[in-house]
Structure 1
Amino acid sequence: MQDANSIIAPSKQGVMVGFPPPPDKRVTAANCYQPEHMAWRIQNTTRLFPSARISRGADSISILPQGERLDIERLAVAASDGTSLPMQEVLRRTSVDSMIVMHRGRVVYEGYFGDMTDSKVHAMYSCTKSVIGLLVEALIHEGTLDETRPASAYVPELQASPAGSATVRELLDMRANFMFSEKPKIPGQVQVDYIMGLGFIPRPTDYSGPNGVYELLSGAKSMGSHGGMFRYDNGSTDTLGWILRKVTGQTLDTLIGDLIWSQLGAERDAGMSIDASGVEWAAAGMSAILRDFARLGETLRCHGAFNGRQILPSAVYQKIKMGGDRECFGDGGGGNMSGGSYRSQWWFYHDRFDSFACRGQYGQRLWIAPNAETLVAQFAVDSTLSALEPLRLSGFQAIADSMA
């Protein structure tokens, strides 16, 4: 397939090319959020910020068997204006830099565009939330956590914070209600005060705000009672991350490595961004190669089983797949998927494919369609955030329809 995204390839723009790169093409932690550096940052997060290693373990790499090739170039995708677009144009518009399609456990399409390769680690962003959700649900299943208890029952440091009064289930389903600053969160936009508190964007010289996730959560402010309408927010997942550390005595990178990544037969170690206080970023810190991202998806498609192992109890999968409360979901909280629901840090579409997904900022997607026995694992550098989500979903659905 022709390179669909050559226009955004950082190397073709001279970004970080040369030894050393020219000053105006050099990306650092201080300037990486500038628009011209976004694509390079997303594809090189572990080179910009401290990162913990999520170990793949010492077992052999699991095989991703090849199936009959999907002629993806010939697929047509229905656009919202009633027209039809070739799949290659959809990939270009949604700034896909790598994609794998699996059908019945076999890879039927695998493509890398621009500077991406099959061995390059890529930011997953909020797809990290779904991994955290799997860990929490596993601990609920084994009885270590009670989903009806408040966070403060496990993290006494949150006793005075509104984050501490939300139950584990309310946190899992994004029905907790608190904020990190007086500035309201705008759906589809980056929470600048929050990211600055974590230390991932430069702070002004007179900065006196929170330093790291523990201080952010401890100083959170109430926005009303919990348990109402769906409200997508990083704070719920960050609270779950603190709960996981408390009840297991382990860091998140260790938990993910021991319980999931090392069981997948992954090809590469994954990474976990570390905030300014030395804590793993539960809400959006993971990075991985695409093929391992696809292995995670196949595990979910197969009810928690992969690589000859039951990695997650089937009961955990069944509980998550119940989906969330559609009445409280509204318009998707800025996620641009009216009619869906959210449960256990996973998104549910309630469509003809019975599809569900993990979703990360800038177009990271793991879309699983059980009724089509299909999954799409995708990394992207889409600066439009959720604006192109309907087109992206139409592309996934066209792929699933082609498998019939």
Structure 2
Amino acid sequence: MQIDNPKISPKSQGIMVGFPPPADKRVTTSNCYQPENMGWGIQNPSRLFPSARISRGIEPISPLPWGDMLALESLPVDTGDGQTLSMQEVLCRTGVDAMLVMHRGKVVYEAYFGDMDASTVHSMYSCTKSVVGLLAETLIHDGMLDETKPASAYVPELRMSPVGSATLRELQDMRASFMFSDKPKVPGQVQVDYIMGLGFIPRPSDYTGPNGVYELLSAARPMGEHGGSFRYDNGSTDALGWILRKTTGQSLDALISSLIWSHLGAERDASISIDAGGTEWAAAGMSAILRDFARLGETLRCFGAFNGRQILPEAAYRSIRQGGDREAFGDGGGSNTAGGSYRSQLWFYHDRHDSFACRGQYGQRLWIAPNAETVVAQFAVDPTLSAMEPLRLAGFQTIADALLERVS
């Protein structure tokens, strides 16, 4: 349903309205990350960058049954700093574009704000990492990959790069160590030089750096020993993407379709952005509609099963659900995830709901709370990056608590 919400609509501001739109209202690859244009760009990724289709296959759409609706927007949220906000205010402050909540396999809340509707394909950003992590765990379970082997065992081109000496497990759990720039990587900030090398942000006219992910990974430089503290980095996931392609002989779009998307009973094809070298962006390139995003969340809640089949091998799922090394995670995940861990490209909170999540830049979230039998799928445009994460998480916890209370 469409909710009356003060979410700023790009269309209402004249962004990309008209044939052609006014020059000052046009969104291009050069200005799509400016705050005033970001909302349109995140909802129209394939109009800005080339992309590959992730086929939903030919199976019937799996239903998402309705349950008793939750009066979500009126729920009081304890912010943890002495304030109480309504959930509607939380949604506004965290830039939510759309949210779908499932409880015990049924939809109890679904809403779209601004220009969004149920058919809008929205960028998932780094939630793509979790899909890649699921693929890697599936191949490890099937014996096609060995998590103890270094990346170079599968990608000989990485033998001269520090990426090549990182094991699959170190890449999966973000404990590999290498760098792409002399500029220090700041937690919670975009890796500008890396994204520029991929071609997703403008390059200066005299740019002579790497062109695409293969050149970036091959040109990486040492940055200490692997296997130490948690270090969140796009390069680790992109290395996994290269390993997956080499091992299976398939592009990522084909692999995601054949192993996951075509088994979800998805409503729409998904897509994945293509970098300047013609390669799918494993770290952050996927886009999908919200309802299919929620189907993925239900798969993660239900031990890798959905739509009447075991999509992710249950043994692989249980391996993932162990969570990661909490000591290694330490402060590397930032204060917003203190006490958590990271395993197989998923974030674990170790809280009362035993929750874990897929997390993407600008507020994309798939939050799974097994102890509350709850899934929250959320798309957003939150340019504050990690600043709103405590409030966002407080909102999710409030939803789970309300659903638990309703059935107690």
- TM category (shorter chain) comes to over 0.9
Aligned to 1:188: 188
Aligned to 1:33: 33
CA–CA distance in structure 2, aligned partners of residues 236 and 105 of structure 1: 33
Residue 351 of structure 1, CA deviation? 0.3
Residue 32 of structure 1, CA deviation? 1.2
Q: Do residues 167 (structure 1) and 159 (structure 2) align?
A: no
Partner AA of 1:129 in structure 2: K
Residue 343 of structure 1, CA deviation? 0.2
- The verdict on how the C-alpha distance between 1:349 and 1:2 changes in structure 2, with shifts beyond 3 A counting, is same
Q: Which runs of 5+ in 2 are unaligned?
A: none
Partner AA of 2:356 in structure 1: F
CA contact (8 A) 1:16 1:25 kept: yes
Q: Aligned to 2:333, what secondary structure does the other structure show?
A: coil
Q: C-alpha deviations, 1:242-263, integer Å up to 9, x for none?
A: 0000000000000001110000
TM alignment of 1:50-129, pairs within 5 A: 50-129=50-129
Partner AA of 1:4 in structure 2: N
TM alignment of 1:139-154, pairs within 5 A: 139-154=139-154
CA–CA distance in structure 2, aligned partners of residues 253 and 301 of structure 1: 24
Q: Percent identity?
A: 76
TM alignment of 1:4-403, pairs within 5 A: 4-6=5-7, 8-334=8-334, 336-403=336-403
Q: C-alpha deviations, 1:293-327, integer Å up to 9, x for none?
A: 00000001000110011111111110000000000
Residue 206 of structure 1, CA deviation? 1.0
Partner AA of 2:343 in structure 1: R
CA RMSD in angstroms, aligned pairs only: 1.0
CA contact (8 A) 2:3 2:112 kept: no
Q: Aligned to 1:379, what secondary structure does the other structure show?
A: strand
CA–CA distance in structure 2, aligned partners of residues 3 and 340 of structure 1: 35
CA contact (8 A) 1:5 1:97 kept: no
Normalising to structure 2: TM-score of the pair? Answer: 0.97
CA–CA distance in structure 1, aligned partners of residues 129 and 364 of structure 2: 12
Residue 2 of structure 1, CA deviation? 4.4
Q: Do residues 3 (structure 1) and 4 (structure 2) align?
A: yes
CA–CA distance in structure 2, aligned partners of residues 85 and 59 of structure 1: 43
Residue 335 of structure 1, CA deviation? 6.9
CA–CA distance in structure 2, aligned partners of residues 325 and 256 of structure 1: 27
Residue 67 of structure 1, CA deviation? 0.3
CA–CA distance in structure 1, aligned partners of residues 182 and 291 of structure 2: 41
CA contact (8 A) 2:3 2:111 kept: no
Normalising to structure 1: TM-score of the pair? Answer: 0.98
Q: C-alpha deviations, 1:259-285, integer Å up to 9, x for none?
A: 100000000000000000100000000
CA contact (8 A) 1:98 1:116 kept: yes
Equivalenced residue count is 403
